[in-house]
Amino acid sequence: MSTFLEHQNWRYATKKFDASKIINKEDLNTLKEAIRLSSSSYGLQPYKIIIVENTELRAKIRPAAWGQSQIVEASHLIVFANETQIAEQSIDSYVKNISTTRNVPIDSLNGYSDFMKSKIVTLDKDSKNIWASKQTYLAMGNLLNAAAELKIDVTPMEGFVPEQVNEILGLEKLGLNASLIATLGYRHDEDDSQHYKKVRKSNEDLFITL
């Protein structure tokens, strides 16, 4: 645990990346697996992870992300996109995956399937999108923690116009909506932010024990 806390103190929202340093395939696969293993409500993972390697697309995304340089300077750009059309088919597919993975009769999962459908499918469109987008934050958390362990920098971003990113990447026709962006790579020596002391609430201000 002491190592985990050390990594958390090391990481920060990188403002300037060293564009000459690229994440190797092995480390990238580790980060992808960390995202894949993230917790989510019901285990549904109602999102897709878009890894944008195309430099032209990244250049188009930059204005939509308030002109932030990390979009084009970082080794990798990831867009967390929540599903916008969660219907019974989505849950049926998930239940089938449970049945196959755990080698249990699919009929034995009918109760769980019906319960999920009663809680999710019945939501209105806006509520579904809000619920699904929240799940991407859990995946982002896993990415941040895994990357810190590998000494890879990540900048999580809410500062972008989702509608513009959706249009650039063609997400709407895929039933997706950009909810979060993460830039990954290695901090530049000239990024002064890495030397700033981490500012967080004190235990007294943050925790309430009842």
Query: For residue range 71-101, what is the model confidence (pLDDT) as tens digits?
Result: 999 999 999 999 998 999 999 999 999 999 9
The whole-angstrom separation of Cα 6 and Cα 146 is: 13
Count of residues for the chain?
210
Q: What is the pLDDT of residue 134?
A: 97
Residue with tokens 């019945």: 122
The whole-angstrom separation of Cα 145 and Cα 53 is: 22
Nearest residue to 49 (alpha-carbon basis) of 138, 164, 149: 138
Give the model confidence (pLDDT) of 188-198 as tens digits: 999 999 999 99
The whole-angstrom separation of Cα 152 and Cα 144 is: 9
State whether residue 123 is helix, strand or coil. coil
The whole-angstrom separation of Cα 58 and Cα 196 is: 28
The predicted model scores a pTM of: 0.95
Whether pLDDT at 1 is above 90:
no
The answer to whether residues 185 and 74 touch, using CB atoms and an 8 Å cutoff, is: yes
Nearest residue to 178 (alpha-carbon basis) of 40, 28, 78: 78
- Name the average pLDDT for the chain: 97
Give the model confidence (pLDDT) of 56-76 as tens digits: 999 999 999 999 999 999 999
Band (54; pLDDT cuts 50, 70, 90): very high
State whether residue 23 is helix, strand or coil. coil
Q: What is the largest CA-CA distance in the chain?
A: 59
* Residue 42 Cα distances to 25, 71, 77, 99, 115, angstroms: 31, 32, 27, 15, 10
The whole-angstrom separation of Cα 100 and Cα 169 is: 32
The partner residues of 48 in beta bridges, in order of sequence, read: 81
Residue ranges and CATH numbers for the domains of the chain are 16-86+124-189 (3.40.109.10), 87-120 (no CATH)
